[in-house]
Chains A and B, each alone.
Chain A
Amino acid sequence: MRKMSPEDGAPKIRVRDLDFYYGEVRALSRVSIDILPNEITALIGPSGCGKSTFLRCLNRMNDVIPGARLEGTILLDEADLYAPGVDVADLRRRVGMVFQKPNPFPQSIFDNVAFGPRVLGMASGRLELQQRVEESLRRAALWDVVRGDLEAEALELSLGEQQRLCIARVLAVEPDVILMDEPCSALDPIATLHIEDLMQQLKQDYTIVIVTHNMQQAARVSDRTGLFWLGELVEFGETENVFTRPGNPQTEAYITGRHG
């Protein structure tokens, strides 16, 4: 059974009346959503609907875009992400991101995973760093594949393995939340299922938000699904309900494939 929303448990991320602008263009309007801890939240919707923009608001990746402007509030563990004085580097450590195309650094497998802990000074010595790398690779279900040769080039791994390496790289800096932007769109069906299996294990310890064009994937992996439409969150609910009896006619049209 999928979890119901805990009555007393606070959401991991609480978004209220979020508006987002690229210059004059309003990309998100009045988005309010509670993202619950240890759940997978899937965001779906046609291209340009705002779902990736929304995802990038959650770790302030949009900050670097000139002319970008945000109104409303986003709270992580009840603390305002956009309050003055927030350490953005630490925020991005706590809210990690996995991208559409696997993007390992042109380094060894070990150095890829060790990168974050090294930069952030999270390991006091070689042994601790090794332990952290191993633990991260184990959690990303990659340890058994790469344990024999951690010094091999990351780019020699298959695409699916590279994506799991990128997940291990995120895990190595002990995040709370993992954002995934189309994490399987470059992968074949078997590698996709590996990632989906991995997500089920990871949600025991982390909160996951995934943007996907693949509605069957949203249905398979997520506890809750939100549909973005022209910058608005038009439907958000338990995945089972969204895919069997959606409340909104736009959702019905979109998930039955009757909208372009």
Chain B
Amino acid sequence: MRVQRTLYDREFARVREDILRLGGLVDQALERALESLRQRDRLLAKQVIEDDAAINELRFRVEEACLALIATQQPAAGDLRAVVAAMNIVVDMERMADHAAGIAKTVIRMGDEPLLKPLIDIPKMAQAAREMLADCLKAFVTRDASMAKKTAGRDTEIDDLYKAVFDELIEIMARNPSTVERGTYLLWCAHNLERIGDRVTNIAERVVFMTTGDMKELNP
């Protein structure tokens, strides 16, 4: 006889919805942070920083719900892995939003200084990170370990772009030390995006753990 764990399933469905909602907010933060950089829109940047509070709050809400699930439903095996994965995933997503806010803070700090160089690789990094996040969340919902693994593999795209931006900026700054401040602003933006790539890779690892029980680094 197949028994439904109605209460557990219902509670975890709520956690899943909150995770998707959180993913949506993180994606929006990233999109707006990049837009604020592109448009030099300090108001929008300020908005990104202010919106971070709601993301933190949602993260805590998911953690609380997971804690309650463990305490009251005593999940085991795949259910337990799902709850633990959810707790880890929200932490990584919340940190992604912090990095988006980091970009927004840099935008505010830049004031009206013109960009040192046109934005080429940085938007590509952001685009890749957003796609990875979307794919990870899809893999989480559909419990698709192979999709999660494939997604984690894309982190090298972000790493390569970061290296390209980094080398280029260092070269410009070395040639002309008066550009160091403006160069550093862009370095910070790229660095935040590189970290975002690592965080989304962590999420992919958690999805693999949740579905298969294997706990290992996917893109060491």
Contact = CB atoms under 8 A, between A and B. Distances in A.
A196 B141 CA distance: 39
B76 A258 contact: no
A244 B5 contact: no
B120 interface: no
B77 A244 contact: yes
Nearest to A242: B77
A252 interface: yes
B4 interface: yes
A256 B81 CA distance: 11
Given A256-B79, A257-B5, A258-B5, A245 B213 contact: yes
Contacts of A253: 2
A61 B44 CA distance: 77
Contact of A215 (B3, B5, B76): B76
Contacts of A219: 76
Contacts of A243: 76-77, 80
Contacts, number: 40
A260 B1 contact: yes
Interface in A196-224: 215-216, 219
Contacts of A260: 1-3
Contact of A252 (B1, B2, B3, B77): B77
A9 to B, nearest CB: 28
B77 A246 contact: yes
Contact of B213 (A216, A244, A255, A257): A244
Interface in B61-107: 74-81
Q: Chain A: interface residue count, which band? A: 10 to 19
Nearest to B5: A257
A257 B81 contact: no
Interface string A236-260: 0000000111100001110111111
A228 B75 CA distance: 20
Interface residues of B, number: 15
Contact of B75 (A245, A246, A251, A256): A256
- Interface-centre pick from A245, A252, A259 (highest chain B CB count, 10 A): A245
Contact of A244 (B3, B4, B81): B81
A256 B77 contact: yes
A258 B5 CA distance: 6
Contacts of A215: 76
A252 B78 contact: yes
Contact of A258 (B4, B74, B81, B213): B4
A259 B3 contact: yes
B76 A256 contact: yes
A124 to B, nearest CB: 51
Contacts of A256: 5, 75-79
Contacts of B4: 258
Interface string A140-182: 0000000000000000000000000000000000000000000
Nearest to A247: B213
Interface in B176-220: 213
A129 B4 CA distance: 55
B77 A245 contact: yes
A216 B74 contact: yes
A91 to B, nearest CB: 36
Contacts of B81: 244-245
Contacts of A245: 77, 81, 213
B80 A244 contact: yes
Contacts of B5: 256-258
A257 B3 CA distance: 7
Nearest to A251: B77
A167 B69 CA distance: 36
Given A244-B77, A256-B78, A257-B3, 9 more contacts: A244-B81, A245-B213, A246-B77, A255-B77, A257-B5, A258-B2, A258-B4, A258-B5, A260-B2
Interface of B: 1-5, 8, 74-81, 213
- 4 tightest A-B contacts by CB? A245-B213, A260-B1, A255-B76, A256-B79
